[in-house]
């Protein structure tokens, strides 16, 4: 079964506006935030075959390489295969760098001058395709971008901060992570990068979880209240029976004796129902007060005996 992250990337790959009209910007994001991007190596590692195919095809379409681009599948035990795409010829790597405005051997940072404002969503979507992941919203909220070079992580963080929301930052082993844990921010980012259906799905999951949690809280509260009511009724009945066994209910005043007999016959009744069943109905608080007097009388008897 496809993971939520896989479905997000597949939706982006199927977004014709981003993938066709803004192919250059998306490819730039894929290249810059792929596994490797420089004179020595240009490569992408991904679990999504469609992303791997797009990476290879876009490079060929935009730059027209003379050498080969290799796409191979690397099986992994108990996990999805990884698709590894590499630009094999040095001349082709130089051509790619030149196309994007880099000189051979230059440190490759994010070039804002290469992108227009309307191309930025496509660029960010390409970066996400290359290094992003999203947790299943049924289990939790986390979207992260795993970047191998610190300066690229810092530059993308600054860009996201100006476009949407500043991400949180951390490190994991030798990688730099940008991440979001707020569902609203994740929904906005998914919509921005061309995956509105998955953003809507996340929103629906959140609504269902909210309703379910509220229902659970109400059920737990109701269950707790029922438990307290039962415990209180049992304590009342125990005291009434104690009085009955040690001198009888005639020791009580008429109003307390009537309530005691009613409670013995109706252990399931609430205080409100007991009050309404008396010959002269009284309020819930009135019933509670009389029952306390009965409990106190029973306690006095216990001390005397």
> What DSSP assignment string belongs to 190-245?
HHHTT-HHHHHHHHHHHHHHHHHHHHHHHHHHHHHHHHHHHHHHHHHHHHHHHHHH
Q: Is residue 209 part of a domain?
A: no
Q: What is the mean pLDDT of residues 106-121?
A: 92
Q: Does 186 lie in the same domain as 148?
A: yes
Q: Mean of the pLDDT values across residues 75-98?
A: 91
In sequence order, which ranges of the chain are alpha helices (DSSP H)? 4-13, 16, 23-32, 49-63, 90-99, 120-131, 150-163, 183-192, 196-245, 254-265, 271-277, 284-304
Domain of residue 268: give its range. Answer: 218-304
Same domain? 165 vs 283: no
Residue among 207, 208, 206 nearest 140 (CA): 206
pLDDT in tens, 42-81: 999 999 999 999 999 999 999 988 778 999 999 888 788 8
Backbone angles phi, psi at 132, to 5 degrees: -95, 160
Residue 65 and residue 188 share a domain: yes
* Tokens of residue 225, six digits: 């209240």
Distance CA 302, CA 286 (A): 25
Predicted TM-score (pTM) above 0.75: no
Query: Rounded mean pLDDT of 113-130?
Result: 95
Domain boundary, last residue among 144, 174, 203: 203
Domain count for the chain: 2
Tell me: do 119 and 33 sit in the same domain: yes
Q: Do 275 and 138 share a domain, yes or no? A: no
Query: How far is Cα 44 from Cα 131, in angstroms, rounded to an integer?
Result: 9
143 near 198, Cβ under 8 Å? no
Taking the CB of residue 181, how many other CB atoms lie within 10 A of it?
14
Give me the helix-helix angle, 49-63 and 90-99, nearest 10°. Answer: 80
């Amino acid at each position: 079964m496809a993971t939520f992250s896989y479905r997000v990337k597949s939706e982006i790959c199927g977004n014709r506006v981003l993938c066709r009209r803004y192919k250059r910007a998306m490819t730039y994001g894929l290249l810059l935030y792929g596994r490797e991007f420089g004179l020595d190596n240009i490569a992408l590692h991904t679990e999504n075959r469609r992303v791997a195919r797009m990476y290879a095809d876009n490079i060929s379409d935009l730059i027209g390489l003379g050498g080969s681009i290799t796409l191979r599948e690397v099986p992994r035990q108990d996990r999805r295969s990884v698709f590894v795409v590499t630009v094999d010829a040095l001349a082709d790597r130089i051509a790619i760098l030149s196309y994007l405005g880099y000189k051979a051997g230059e440190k490759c940072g994010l070039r804002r001058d290469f992108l227009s404002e309307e191309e930025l969503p496509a660029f960010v979507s390409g970066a996400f395709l290359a290094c992003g992941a999203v947790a299943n919203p049924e289990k939790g909220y986390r979207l992260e971008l795993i970047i191998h070079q610190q300066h690229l992580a810092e530059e993308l963080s600054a860009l996201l901060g100006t476009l949407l929301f500043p991400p949180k930052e951390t490190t994991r082993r030798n990688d730099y992570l940008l991440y979001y844990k707020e569902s609203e921010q994740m929904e906005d980012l998914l919509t921005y990068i061309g995956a509105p259906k998955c953003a809507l799905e996340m929103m629906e999951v959140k609504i269902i979880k909210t309703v379910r949690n509220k229902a659970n809280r109400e059920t737990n509260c109701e269950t707790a209240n029922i438990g307290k009511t039962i415990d209180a009724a049992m304590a009342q009945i125990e005291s009434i029976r104690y009085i009955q066994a040690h001198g009888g209910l005639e020791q009580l005043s008429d109003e307390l004796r009537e309530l005691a007999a009613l409670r013995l016959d109706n252990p399931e009744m609430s205080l409100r129902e007991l009050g309404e069943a008396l010959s002269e109905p009284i309020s819930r608080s009135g019933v509670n007060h009389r029952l306390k007097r009965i409990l106190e009388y029973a306690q006095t008897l216990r001390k005397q005996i």
